[in-house]
């Protein structure tokens, strides 16, 4: 599983033009089940996305489709981890 820490690398005014297309990209992968959850940081300067396990090359291909990456307005910190413990209602994450 991956946890993506998305941080704006440009000022929010430069990011604004790409918010709609970024949201559509996130929505597509949520609907497909690739992304498990996503949301903005309370600071308003990026967000967090949880991604099911896959080969890192596949993840990098998906990230290359993001308008934030294409416009070079955000950086992605990729944390690769194994989910070993959850609350009962989140058991499915251990398999993701």
Q: Alpha-carbon distance 49 to 35, whole Å?
A: 7
The residue to which tokens 């820490």 are assigned: 5
Q: Alpha-carbon distance 17 to 69, whole Å?
A: 13
76-88 confidence digits (pLDDT tens)? 999 999 988 888 8
54-79 confidence digits (pLDDT tens)? 999 999 999 999 999 999 999 999 99
User: 6: left (phi > 0), else alpha (psi -120 to 50), else beta?
Assistant: beta
The DSSP code for 89 is G
The DSSP code for 9 is S
- Radius of gyration of the chain from its Cα atoms, rounded to whole angstroms: 14
10-67 confidence digits (pLDDT tens)? 999 999 999 999 999 999 999 999 999 999 999 999 999 999 999 999 999 999 999 9
pTM for the whole thing? 0.91
């Amino acid at each position: 599983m991956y946890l993506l820490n998305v941080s704006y690398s440009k000022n929010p005014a430069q990011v604004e033009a790409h918010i709609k297309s970024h949201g559509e990209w996130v929505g597509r992968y949520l609907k497909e089940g690739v992304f498990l959850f996503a949301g903005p940081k309370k600071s308003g300067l990026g967000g967090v996305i949880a991604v099911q396990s896959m080969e890192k090359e596949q993840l990098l291909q998906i990230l290359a489709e993001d308008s934030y990456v294409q416009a070079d307005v955000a950086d992605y910190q990729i944390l690769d981890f194994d989910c070993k413990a959850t609350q009962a209602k989140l058991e499915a994450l251990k398999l993701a």
